[in-house]
Homo-oligomer: A and B are copies of this chain.
Amino acid sequence: MKLGMVGLGRMGANMAERLLRGGHEVVGFDPNADARKALEANGAGSADSLQALVKALPLPRVVWLMVPSGKITDDTVDALLSLLAPGDTVIDGGNSNYKDSMRRAKLYADKGLHYVDCGTSGGVWGLKEGYSMMIGGDEQAVEALRPIFETLAPGKNQGWGRVGPVGSGHFTKMVHNGIEYGLMQAYAEGFSILQHKQEFGLDLHQIGEIWRTGSVVRSWLLDLTTDALGKNPTMAGIAPYVVDSGEGRWTVDEAVALNVPAPVITLSLIERLRSRDTESFSDKLLAAMRNEFGGHEIKTEPK
Protein backbone atom coordinates (compact mmCIF):
# COMPACT_ATOMS: atom_id res chain seq x y z
CA MET A 1 0.00 0.00 0.00
CA LYS A 2 0.94 3.63 -0.28
CA LEU A 3 0.52 5.81 2.75
CA GLY A 4 1.48 9.18 4.10
CA MET A 5 3.48 9.38 7.31
CA VAL A 6 3.11 12.63 9.24
CA GLY A 7 5.83 13.09 11.83
CA LEU A 8 9.32 11.78 11.11
CA GLY A 9 10.75 11.79 14.60
CA ARG A 10 12.31 8.68 16.10
CA MET A 11 9.08 6.67 16.06
CA GLY A 12 7.66 7.92 12.75
CA ALA A 13 10.91 7.53 10.85
CA ASN A 14 11.41 3.99 12.11
CA MET A 15 7.87 2.99 11.23
CA ALA A 16 8.26 4.44 7.76
CA GLU A 17 11.45 2.48 7.31
CA ARG A 18 9.82 -0.77 8.44
CA LEU A 19 6.99 -0.17 5.97
CA LEU A 20 9.44 0.51 3.15
CA ARG A 21 11.32 -2.69 3.95
CA GLY A 22 7.98 -4.46 3.83
CA GLY A 23 7.35 -3.28 0.28
CA HIS A 24 5.00 -0.41 0.96
CA GLU A 25 5.27 3.05 -0.51
CA VAL A 26 5.63 5.91 1.91
CA VAL A 27 5.39 9.66 1.50
CA GLY A 28 6.59 11.44 4.59
CA PHE A 29 5.95 14.87 5.98
CA ASP A 30 7.75 16.64 8.76
CA PRO A 31 8.44 20.35 9.22
CA ASN A 32 12.08 19.41 9.75
CA ALA A 33 13.83 19.23 6.37
CA ASP A 34 16.59 16.98 7.67
CA ALA A 35 14.05 14.44 8.80
CA ARG A 36 12.52 14.48 5.33
CA LYS A 37 15.87 14.01 3.66
CA ALA A 38 16.72 11.10 5.90
CA LEU A 39 13.49 9.44 4.86
CA GLU A 40 14.13 10.06 1.17
CA ALA A 41 17.51 8.43 1.56
CA ASN A 42 15.60 5.29 2.54
CA GLY A 43 13.65 5.34 -0.70
CA ALA A 44 10.50 7.16 0.37
CA GLY A 45 8.89 10.20 -1.10
CA SER A 46 8.49 13.30 0.94
CA ALA A 47 6.30 16.36 1.09
CA ASP A 48 7.02 19.75 2.58
CA SER A 49 3.45 20.44 3.65
CA LEU A 50 0.33 18.53 4.57
CA GLN A 51 -1.24 19.83 1.35
CA ALA A 52 1.59 18.38 -0.70
CA LEU A 53 1.38 15.12 1.20
CA VAL A 54 -2.32 14.79 0.53
CA LYS A 55 -1.81 15.51 -3.17
CA ALA A 56 0.88 12.83 -3.39
CA LEU A 57 -1.43 10.06 -2.20
CA PRO A 58 -3.84 7.98 -4.28
CA LEU A 59 -7.53 7.77 -3.38
CA PRO A 60 -8.71 6.57 -0.92
CA ARG A 61 -5.85 8.12 1.01
CA VAL A 62 -4.24 6.68 4.11
CA VAL A 63 -2.39 9.01 6.45
CA TRP A 64 -0.57 7.79 9.54
CA LEU A 65 0.06 10.35 12.27
CA MET A 66 3.08 9.87 14.47
CA VAL A 67 3.26 13.25 16.20
CA PRO A 68 3.29 14.30 19.86
CA SER A 69 -0.09 14.04 21.55
CA GLY A 70 -1.95 17.19 22.42
CA LYS A 71 -1.93 20.39 20.44
CA ILE A 72 0.20 19.17 17.52
CA THR A 73 -2.04 16.19 16.98
CA ASP A 74 -5.09 18.41 17.29
CA ASP A 75 -3.78 20.89 14.72
CA THR A 76 -2.79 18.15 12.32
CA VAL A 77 -6.10 16.36 12.67
CA ASP A 78 -7.95 19.61 12.04
CA ALA A 79 -5.86 20.47 9.00
CA LEU A 80 -6.29 17.02 7.46
CA LEU A 81 -10.02 17.13 8.06
CA SER A 82 -10.29 19.96 5.57
CA LEU A 83 -7.78 18.51 3.13
CA LEU A 84 -9.02 14.93 2.88
CA ALA A 85 -12.03 13.51 1.07
CA PRO A 86 -14.74 11.02 2.05
CA GLY A 87 -13.36 7.52 2.15
CA ASP A 88 -9.90 8.63 3.26
CA THR A 89 -8.48 7.32 6.52
CA VAL A 90 -6.37 8.89 9.22
CA ILE A 91 -4.62 6.64 11.75
CA ASP A 92 -3.38 8.25 14.93
CA GLY A 93 -0.49 6.04 15.99
CA GLY A 94 0.67 8.34 18.78
CA ASN A 95 -0.13 8.48 22.46
CA SER A 96 -3.33 10.50 22.31
CA ASN A 97 -5.85 10.47 25.09
CA TYR A 98 -8.61 8.10 24.04
CA LYS A 99 -11.26 10.72 24.70
CA ASP A 100 -9.60 13.05 22.23
CA SER A 101 -9.52 10.25 19.68
CA MET A 102 -13.24 9.64 20.16
CA ARG A 103 -13.96 13.34 19.74
CA ARG A 104 -11.80 13.59 16.63
CA ALA A 105 -13.30 10.46 15.11
CA LYS A 106 -16.74 11.98 15.41
CA LEU A 107 -15.69 15.04 13.42
CA TYR A 108 -14.25 12.75 10.76
CA ALA A 109 -17.29 10.51 10.63
CA ASP A 110 -19.51 13.55 10.17
CA LYS A 111 -17.66 14.21 6.93
CA GLY A 112 -17.51 10.61 5.76
CA LEU A 113 -13.86 10.07 6.68
CA HIS A 114 -12.41 7.20 8.69
CA TYR A 115 -10.49 7.71 11.88
CA VAL A 116 -8.53 4.89 13.46
CA ASP A 117 -6.70 5.09 16.78
CA CYS A 118 -3.72 2.83 17.10
CA GLY A 119 -1.85 2.50 20.37
CA THR A 120 1.71 1.62 19.42
CA SER A 121 4.20 -0.05 21.71
CA GLY A 122 7.74 -1.14 21.11
CA GLY A 123 9.81 2.01 21.39
CA VAL A 124 13.09 2.24 19.57
CA TRP A 125 13.14 -1.54 19.18
CA GLY A 126 10.06 -1.60 16.98
CA LEU A 127 12.00 -1.07 13.76
CA LYS A 128 13.78 -4.36 14.25
CA GLU A 129 11.32 -6.39 16.30
CA GLY A 130 8.02 -4.98 15.12
CA TYR A 131 5.43 -2.87 16.87
CA SER A 132 2.69 -4.09 19.16
CA MET A 133 -0.47 -2.32 18.02
CA MET A 134 -3.84 -2.00 19.77
CA ILE A 135 -6.29 -0.66 17.25
CA GLY A 136 -9.68 1.02 17.60
CA GLY A 137 -12.01 1.87 14.74
CA ASP A 138 -14.68 0.60 12.38
CA GLU A 139 -14.10 -2.97 11.38
CA GLN A 140 -14.03 -2.18 7.68
CA ALA A 141 -11.64 0.71 8.04
CA VAL A 142 -9.25 -1.38 10.10
CA GLU A 143 -9.53 -4.36 7.77
CA ALA A 144 -8.61 -2.17 4.81
CA LEU A 145 -5.35 -1.31 6.55
CA ARG A 146 -4.42 -4.92 7.22
CA PRO A 147 -1.33 -4.94 4.96
CA ILE A 148 0.13 -2.03 6.90
CA PHE A 149 -0.49 -3.59 10.29
CA GLU A 150 0.88 -6.93 9.15
CA THR A 151 4.11 -5.25 8.15
CA LEU A 152 4.51 -3.07 11.19
CA ALA A 153 3.68 -5.87 13.63
CA PRO A 154 6.22 -8.38 14.95
CA GLY A 155 4.51 -11.06 12.90
CA LYS A 156 1.74 -11.24 10.32
CA ASN A 157 -0.85 -12.29 12.85
CA GLN A 158 1.04 -11.44 15.95
CA GLY A 159 1.18 -8.44 18.20
CA TRP A 160 -1.64 -6.47 16.66
CA GLY A 161 -5.40 -6.47 16.58
CA ARG A 162 -8.54 -4.40 16.43
CA VAL A 163 -9.67 -4.32 20.04
CA GLY A 164 -12.91 -2.37 19.59
CA PRO A 165 -14.49 0.85 18.37
CA VAL A 166 -12.64 4.13 18.02
CA GLY A 167 -11.01 5.11 21.30
CA SER A 168 -10.45 1.57 22.46
CA GLY A 169 -7.02 1.45 20.83
CA HIS A 170 -5.66 4.39 22.73
CA PHE A 171 -7.51 3.30 25.85
CA THR A 172 -5.80 -0.08 25.72
CA LYS A 173 -2.42 1.52 25.06
CA MET A 174 -2.98 3.87 28.00
CA VAL A 175 -3.55 0.91 30.31
CA HIS A 176 -0.53 -0.82 28.75
CA ASN A 177 1.59 2.13 29.82
CA GLY A 178 0.06 2.13 33.29
CA ILE A 179 1.10 -1.50 33.65
CA GLU A 180 4.52 -0.58 32.27
CA TYR A 181 4.94 1.99 35.06
CA GLY A 182 4.10 -0.64 37.63
CA LEU A 183 6.44 -3.25 36.17
CA MET A 184 9.30 -0.78 35.93
CA GLN A 185 8.83 0.39 39.50
CA ALA A 186 8.73 -3.18 40.80
CA TYR A 187 12.04 -4.02 39.12
CA ALA A 188 13.60 -0.74 40.24
CA GLU A 189 12.63 -1.33 43.85
CA GLY A 190 13.86 -4.90 43.79
CA PHE A 191 17.25 -4.02 42.32
CA SER A 192 17.52 -1.16 44.78
CA ILE A 193 17.05 -3.55 47.68
CA LEU A 194 19.74 -5.83 46.24
CA GLN A 195 22.04 -2.83 45.75
CA HIS A 196 21.65 -1.72 49.36
CA LYS A 197 22.48 -5.15 50.81
CA GLN A 198 26.14 -4.33 50.84
CA GLU A 199 27.22 -7.25 53.02
CA PHE A 200 26.57 -9.65 50.12
CA GLY A 201 28.39 -7.59 47.50
CA LEU A 202 25.84 -8.57 44.90
CA ASP A 203 26.48 -8.05 41.20
CA LEU A 204 23.20 -6.67 39.91
CA HIS A 205 24.04 -7.29 36.29
CA GLN A 206 24.77 -10.94 37.00
CA ILE A 207 21.50 -11.33 38.87
CA GLY A 208 19.61 -9.76 35.98
CA GLU A 209 21.28 -12.27 33.65
CA ILE A 210 20.30 -15.17 35.89
CA TRP A 211 16.71 -14.01 36.07
CA ARG A 212 16.40 -13.55 32.30
CA THR A 213 16.13 -17.26 31.75
CA GLY A 214 13.77 -19.53 33.57
CA SER A 215 12.73 -17.23 36.40
CA VAL A 216 9.18 -16.11 37.08
CA VAL A 217 10.17 -12.45 36.63
CA ARG A 218 11.70 -12.80 33.18
CA SER A 219 10.48 -10.21 30.72
CA TRP A 220 11.59 -7.89 28.00
CA LEU A 221 11.84 -5.03 30.49
CA LEU A 222 14.13 -7.21 32.59
CA ASP A 223 16.27 -7.84 29.52
CA LEU A 224 16.63 -4.10 29.01
CA THR A 225 17.21 -3.47 32.70
CA THR A 226 19.93 -6.07 32.71
CA ASP A 227 21.54 -4.48 29.68
CA ALA A 228 21.45 -1.12 31.42
CA LEU A 229 23.05 -2.63 34.52
CA GLY A 230 25.71 -4.20 32.36
CA LYS A 231 26.65 -0.86 30.85
CA ASN A 232 26.52 1.10 34.08
CA PRO A 233 26.27 -1.09 37.18
CA THR A 234 26.22 1.80 39.66
CA MET A 235 24.04 4.10 37.52
CA ALA A 236 26.91 6.58 37.71
CA GLY A 237 26.14 10.02 36.42
CA ILE A 238 22.42 9.39 36.03
CA ALA A 239 20.18 11.78 37.93
CA PRO A 240 17.37 10.16 39.94
CA TYR A 241 14.86 12.04 37.86
CA VAL A 242 12.05 10.13 36.19
CA VAL A 243 9.82 11.69 33.57
CA ASP A 244 6.22 10.68 33.02
CA SER A 245 4.35 11.27 29.83
CA GLY A 246 0.62 11.44 30.24
CA GLU A 247 -0.63 7.88 29.87
CA GLY A 248 0.23 7.08 33.47
CA ARG A 249 -1.81 10.03 34.69
CA TRP A 250 -4.72 9.11 32.46
CA THR A 251 -4.65 5.54 33.71
CA VAL A 252 -4.86 6.79 37.28
CA ASP A 253 -7.75 9.11 36.40
CA GLU A 254 -9.54 6.37 34.53
CA ALA A 255 -9.11 3.82 37.32
CA VAL A 256 -10.69 6.24 39.78
CA ALA A 257 -13.46 7.10 37.34
CA LEU A 258 -14.21 3.39 36.91
CA ASN A 259 -13.96 2.76 40.67
CA VAL A 260 -11.14 0.28 40.10
CA PRO A 261 -8.54 0.23 42.87
CA ALA A 262 -5.14 0.46 41.16
CA PRO A 263 -2.75 1.19 44.01
CA VAL A 264 0.41 -0.08 42.40
CA ILE A 265 -0.01 1.69 39.08
CA THR A 266 -0.96 4.83 40.97
CA LEU A 267 2.00 4.67 43.33
CA SER A 268 4.31 4.12 40.39
CA LEU A 269 3.17 7.43 38.95
CA ILE A 270 3.45 9.17 42.31
CA GLU A 271 7.00 7.88 42.71
CA ARG A 272 7.90 9.54 39.43
CA LEU A 273 6.46 12.83 40.67
CA ARG A 274 8.44 12.29 43.85
CA SER A 275 11.67 11.78 41.96
CA ARG A 276 11.39 15.32 40.66
CA ASP A 277 10.30 16.91 43.94
CA THR A 278 13.77 17.41 45.34
CA GLU A 279 12.73 20.13 47.76
CA SER A 280 9.67 18.40 49.14
CA PHE A 281 7.51 20.86 51.03
CA SER A 282 5.72 17.92 52.65
CA ASP A 283 8.94 16.58 54.08
CA LYS A 284 10.05 19.94 55.36
CA LEU A 285 6.71 20.38 57.06
CA LEU A 286 6.96 16.91 58.59
CA ALA A 287 10.37 17.79 60.01
CA ALA A 288 8.90 21.01 61.42
CA MET A 289 5.97 19.12 62.98
CA ARG A 290 8.29 16.67 64.68
CA ASN A 291 10.15 19.59 66.13
CA GLU A 292 6.92 21.18 67.35
CA PHE A 293 5.56 18.25 69.29
CA GLY A 294 8.64 16.37 70.28
CA GLY A 295 11.41 18.94 70.21
CA HIS A 296 13.14 16.71 67.66
CA GLU A 297 16.04 18.34 65.91
CA ILE A 298 15.57 19.71 62.41
CA LYS A 299 18.20 19.09 59.80
CA THR A 300 19.03 22.38 58.18
CA GLU A 301 19.65 22.89 54.52
CA PRO A 302 23.07 23.73 53.19
CA LYS A 303 23.05 27.41 52.24
State the A residues within 8 Å of B (CB).
10, 121-126, 129-134, 136, 153-155, 158-161, 163-165, 167-168, 171-172, 175-197, 200-203, 206-207, 209-222, 224-225, 227-229, 232, 235, 237-243, 249, 251-256, 258-296, 298-301
Nearest CB of chain B from residue A193's CB, rounded to whole Å: 5
Flag if A186 contacts B196 (CB, 8 Å): no
- Contacting pair A238 B190 (CB below 8 A): no
Contact of B274 with A206 in the complex, beta carbons under 8 Å: no
Q: For A268, give the chain B residue with the smallest CB separation.
A: B264
Task: Write the nearest CB–CB distance from A275 to chain B, whole angstroms.
Answer: 4
Cβ of A121: which chain B residues have Cβ within 8 Å of it?
A: 211, 214-217
Give me the 5 closest cross-chain CB pairs, A-B, nearest first. A182-B186, A219-B219, A240-B283, A132-B215, A159-B213
Complex Cα gap A211–B158 (Å): 9
Q: A215-B176, A298-B238 are in contact. Are A289 and B161 (CB under 8 A)?
A: no
Residues of B within 8 A of A259 (CB): 196, 273, 276-277
Chain B residues within an 8 Å CB radius of A206: 161, 163
B214 and A130: CB pair below 8 A? yes
CA distance A143 to B218 in the complex (A): 25
Residue contact A300 to B214, C-beta cutoff 8 Å: no
- Which residues of B have CB within 8 Å of A271? 261, 263-264, 282-283
- Complex CA gap A264/B263 in Å reads 8
Q: How far is the CB of A6 from chain B (nearest CB, A)?
A: 20
A133:B210 contact, CB within 8 angstroms: yes
B132–A288 touching, CB < 8 Å: no
B123 touching A294, Cβ below 8 Å: yes
CB-CB under 8 A from A285, the residues of chain B are: 187-188, 191-192, 225, 228-229, 235
